[in-house]
Structure formats: C-alpha cells, structure tokens
Structure 1
C-alpha cells in the first residue's frame, strides 16, 4: 500500500501533496500523518525539498478545512439541524453535540482552531462549529494554517528521520496506514451500533 502512496507523492509532486491533504480534511481517505510522513521520506531521498513540501501541504490542509468551514458558514444552525436530526445515527452525532462544540468555541475563541490542529480526531471537525459561529474567514484561515504548518513540519521531520534511518521506511508507514484504517472502521461500526440519541 505504501509503495503506491509514495509513488503518488513522488510523481504528483507538491500539487499532489496539496490535493491529498485537502481530501484528507474533507473526506479522510489517507491520514495526514502518512501523507506528510511519506513526504518526509521523499525529502530524505532527495525527491522533494522541505520548505516547498511544508508550504503546499499546509495550503492543502487549510483548503480542506476551509471547504467544511464554508459549508457550515453558509448553512447556519437552522438549516443544518434537520440534516443532523435525520442522519445523526450514521454521523454518530446529534444536535446537542453541535451546540456544545459551538459554545466551547465561542467561550475559548479562535485559539481552539489552532490547538485542535494537533488532535487527529478533532482537527477537521472544528471547522464545522467555527463556520456555524461565523468566525472571521481570514482569522480562521490564519489559525488553521498556523496549526497545520507546525504539525506538518513535525511530520516531515519525522518522515525524514525515518528515511535516513530505515531503508524501507515506507513499509512501516504502510502498516501504520492499514492499522489506522482498520481501527477507524471498527471504531465507526462500534459507534453506530451503540449510538443512542439524547432523551428529551
């Protein structure tokens, strides 16, 4: 698996990285840890360079988050609520969760967007309450890009270290991809099977 992902990264170049990172935030097919980690391996092998990789990867992450932000910003609470109520089981989400996230964001401000960029479970979803709260577009982009840049830099450095240390580093990332994918599917099935709407 990692071989073909690495080939996409290598042959697609920086625009390929941007595309994968945007898609990872909109419809997560491949974790950003794998994308940027393989990018770091490409840096170690001389196929890519650190700063352009960081720039394009961060741009892709910010773009993907901004798409979700715009959708939530345009729909607003009232038009989003019927959708959540109807499909809540499959989203494993109910309207109460949206309200709690919105209140948390309003209480702690734009720093929430920055901090949650370092948390795999929440770095994408925070775009929705930020959009629903009609956070300033430029402010959202600045804080999500700043958080993504720091996180991506760490991933690139980690991948570069693996590339220098292990001759078949992409194989290890390949197994990590499989493990993350299996865990995600199992976790989702469990949440759907045990999900119960809040009473009242």
Structure 2
C-alpha cells in the first residue's frame, strides 16, 4: 500500500493527494496517517508546497465525508427507533435511547461532535453519519468538518515535514493513541450495557 500511495502522489501530485484522501474517507483501511506525512515529506524534499498539500488533503477529506453524510440522511430516525425496539433488547437499546442520542446531536452539540470527531482516527470517517441522520444543516456540517479536518491534515503534514524520511514514525505514534480511543469507547459501551442489564434484573 505504501508503494501505491507513494506512486500516486509522485505521479499525480496534489490531485493524487485529493484522490487518496477521498478514498481514505470511504475505505478507512487507507490511512491518512500514511498519506499526509508522506506528502509532508515531499514538501521537505522541495517537491511540493506545504499550503497546497494541506489544501489538497483537506479538500479530499471533506469530499469523502459527503457520501457518509447522505447515507445518514437516507436512514429515517423512525426506522432506527423501530429497529431498536425490535432487536435492541440484546444491547439494552430502546427507541427512547435513539431519540435521546438524536436530540443530543441535533441541539447544537452536533457541531462540537463533528469538529472533534474529525480529529479522532477511526471515528473521523463515520461522524458524518449521525450528522446526516439528524439532518444537520449543510453549512454548519461543512464548517465544523472543515475546521477539524484542516487541524488534522495540518498536523499530519507538518509531522511528515519535520520527520523527513522518518515520516512513517507518525503512524507508529498515532497507532497506539487510536487504539486507546477505541478501547475507551468500547469499554464505555460495555459498561453501559452491563449497567442497564443489571438494572433490568433488579426490577
């Protein structure tokens, strides 16, 4: 994969960065932690411009968020609530829980969730789905998505520029951090499920 990313950026330049970052949002196994530090390394070599690298990476990432956003818009909250009432008991999930999440996301807290979510590996791709589900207006969605994305892309690009030929160390550092985030989320989910299950047994 690294060779393919290298060849794509080498042959297509900024267009290649846009293309790769678009795919990264559709197929998360193509990590931005490789693409953007490699582009930053290209800046250090004098082959690319840092500002255009950040612009290209951000543009591709934002374009890749749209399919997930519109996927969320195709799912009606009523259907999700119906599914929760029918099958959610295995996860102690009810339509009331779905409504609570939708309400939380819809009442402006979604802006913060989208902005911060674009900074978290593994989550940044899928944060667009609840934004679409709650019919988050396009302007705030674009603004906060862009804000978080530019910060993330700038960080990765600068790390690649600073580390030079050792740009792959960025992924080595961010990999464990991403794992900690996922462990925290999964652990929190398990605690929630077990707590609700125990409450149901106590009734």
Q: Give the TM-score taking structure 2 as reference length.
A: 0.71
After superposition, the Cα gap between the structure-2 partners of 1:48 and 1:72, relative to the gap in structure 1 and judged at 3 Å, is: same
Q: State the partner residue of 1:58.
A: 58
Per the alignment, residue 29 of structure 1 pairs with: 29
Matches within 5 A, 1:51-200: 51-78=51-78, 101-107=101-107, 108-163=109-164, 168-169=165-166, 172=169, 176=172
Normalising by structure 1, we get a TM-score of: 0.72
Report the structure number with the largest CA radius of gyration: 2
Q: How many residues align?
A: 180
Contact map agreement 2:18 2:60 (CA 8 A) in 1: yes
CA distance in 1, matches of 2:72, 2:118: 18
Q: SS of 2:52's equivalent? A: helix
The range that moved more, 117-126 or 105-114, is: 105-114
State the alpha-carbon separation in 1 of the partners of residues 141 and 150 from structure 2: 14
- Determine the structure 2 residue equivalent to 1:48: 48
Give CA-to-partner distance per residue, 1:91-142, whole Å, 9 cap, x none.
x9x8878656534423423122111111113212211111010000121011
Instruction: Choose between structure 1 and 2 for higher RCO, CA contacts under 8 A separated by at least 6 residues.
Output: 1
What's the RMSD between the two structures over aligned residues? 3.4
How far is the alpha carbon of 1:3 from its aligned partner? 3.4
Gaps of 5+ in 1: 188-193
